[in-house]
Amino acid sequence: MREFFWRKKLLGRFTALLLVLTLILSTSTSALAATNDNVLPEVRDLLQKQYADPVSQDVLSAPTIDEMLRRLGDPHTTYFSSQEYQDFVDSVNMSFTGIGIHIEMLPEGVKVVSVVKGSPAEEVGLKAGDVIVSADGQSLAGLSDEEAVKYLRGPEGSSVQISVKRGTETKEFTVARRTVSEPTVEGSVLDGHIGYIQLESFGDSTPMEFASAVVKLDYQNVDSWIVDLRDNGGGYLTSAIDIAGFFIGSNVAVKVKDRTGVLHLYQAPYQPFTLNQPIIFLTNEYSASASEILTSAVKDYKKATIVGTRTYGKGTVQTMFPLSNGGVLKMTVDHFYSAFGHEINKVGVTPDVNIVNSDSLKAAELMLANKQTALDMAKTPDYWEAWRELVNTTSSDVKPEQYALYSLYYPDYQKMAEIANVSLNQLFNVHFNKAVDWQSVNDSTIELINSMTGERILTTFETLGPSDVQVIPEKDLSPDSTYWLVVHPTVKDTSGKAMSGGTVTILHTTQGSAAEPKAKTQSFGSFRPLSERPLTNTNDPDYGWAIQDLTKK
């Protein structure tokens, strides 16, 4: 009998994301109840003799299976019809019947987020961004994802006529329905040196797919690894244990306690290789069951750093029991614990680095980069928030606000001033102490940056003299926000010599209206010679800049 791990919100998740999922059969309530009644004694006997914990008489005396399972209160113990059971198995193995698209619901219909490679949808030319507005004449506007999928799915070999809005055009397609399979493992190279492996599920073929992905990436000379288990709700116990062997060798991967209290140790199999380069696992609140077995194993043996948020906390094992009516009872039979005996059920696995408010994948990339590369990446909008949260999370002794946030991104730059009540349509006058080569002044050498997001505010520059320039934002600043006016040391004087040292001026905007007219005569002070101010990290005191007093004239 195969052991399963229930995938949190499995049917709901795949209904929302994959049109290739066959929905639960819409059998009538009366017919289903009659069918259930025939096997009620079988279900009662299984619960009484093989459920993981003692079952009360109140549960066992329920008049129907539905009521019995409701009283039991275990969301992971479920009755499946034969078709529902097949749907479940197919979903774990990433094999579905349909047209082969990932979807998102919009008010006007079904948006195609992506098209499964080799699917009927790809063959007829459906594209990401298409909006399916009707299927076989039925409007999909305003429907839920479950309702919409009902009109798009159907028996294998049948077809559906769909109307698709693509930009300003409406196109008609006839799409066949058939079984579509997707790999449970995807691999790619990130940043030229990281082997990125995304595990969507723990299916029958997942260990083989995992090994194949690792070998292919290893040939591309990666030096570190990211294993992404976010939103992976589990799958087969054996698959998780098999994959653990690639990290922990032939050690105990998980401990399972049966209904009698006996603890069984499950050892990972010997694998042809083990990964010993820097490894990061990504988890979130939807990483469950088999994902938690693998994650807890690598954490216990200190084979990887866990980054993200705490996992779901499903520490129970389910087994499928066939019933005489063709249905299947998926029932909790055991509890499991980490390799070192740590509780998982209703607790989860705690990450080593907690990343909540930004993309944990971005944080992992930064962690695996060398210091200078990480700092260069951090300054870009894509990684700005992840770097901020990463440093704030890992620097337990000194928080960013205690030593100036800008130094996270520009550690060698000097803070010139911190100005409050900056108008939303402010112009900024910058004065250098020497004549400037204006070809060296552009939006990469003088930047206006939103300190929270890293967004660069587009600016233009107007020269006011040999040493003065006005920075003109192309749009109003956001109210009650903080910006940094950053002058980089790549600005050059007329002799071609670069200025020494960068500076940051911190600007806090007002909460006022952005509709006020811009005052062309407004100025935010000027720069003075370096000899009149202290400097850090400056090799040549003859060049540089400093903001004296940022107040309106």
Instruction: State which residues form the domain around 227.
Output: 194-313+348-360
Q: Are residues 306 and 410 in the same domain?
A: no
User: What is the domain-level CATH number for residue 212?
Assistant: 3.90.226.10
- Confirm whether 552 is domain-assigned: no
Q: Are residues 210 and 352 in the same domain?
A: yes
Please answer whether residues 201 and 212 qualify as being in contact, where contact means their C-beta atoms are separated by less than 8 angstroms: no
Three-state SS for 311-322 is CCCCCEEEEEEE
Q: Are residues 289 and 413 in the same domain?
A: no
CA distance linking residue 412 with residue 311, whole number of Å:
38
Q: Are residues 417 and 528 in the same domain?
A: yes
Q: Are residues 288 and 427 in the same domain?
A: no
User: What is the domain-level CATH number for residue 523?
Assistant: 2.60.40.1220
pLDDT at 403: 52
Q: Are residues 356 and 473 in the same domain?
A: no
Q: What is the mean pLDDT of residues 306-314?
A: 97
The token duo for 248 is 């922990």
pLDDT, tens digit (0-9, with 9 covering 90-100), for 213-245: 999 999 999 999 999 999 999 999 999 999 999
pTM higher than 0.85, yes or no?
no
Q: Are residues 292 and 438 in the same domain?
A: no
Q: Are residues 205 and 271 in the same domain?
A: yes
Domain count, the chain: 2
pLDDT at 551: 25
- Confirm whether 199 is domain-assigned: yes
Q: What is the mean pLDDT of residues 312-333?
A: 95
pLDDT, tens digit (0-9, with 9 covering 90-100), for 481-506: 999 999 999 999 999 998 888 989 99
Closest CA to 316 of 251, 205, 203, 234: 234
Closest CA to 305 of 370, 363, 233: 363
- Under DSSP, the state recorded for 445 is T
> Which residues lie below 8 Å from residue 196, measured CB to CB, with a gap of 6+?
187, 188, 189, 190, 217, 225, 226, 228
Range in 61-65, 176-180, 404-408, 444-448 the model is least confident about: 404-408
| Res 413 pLDDT > 60 | yes
pLDDT at 475: 93
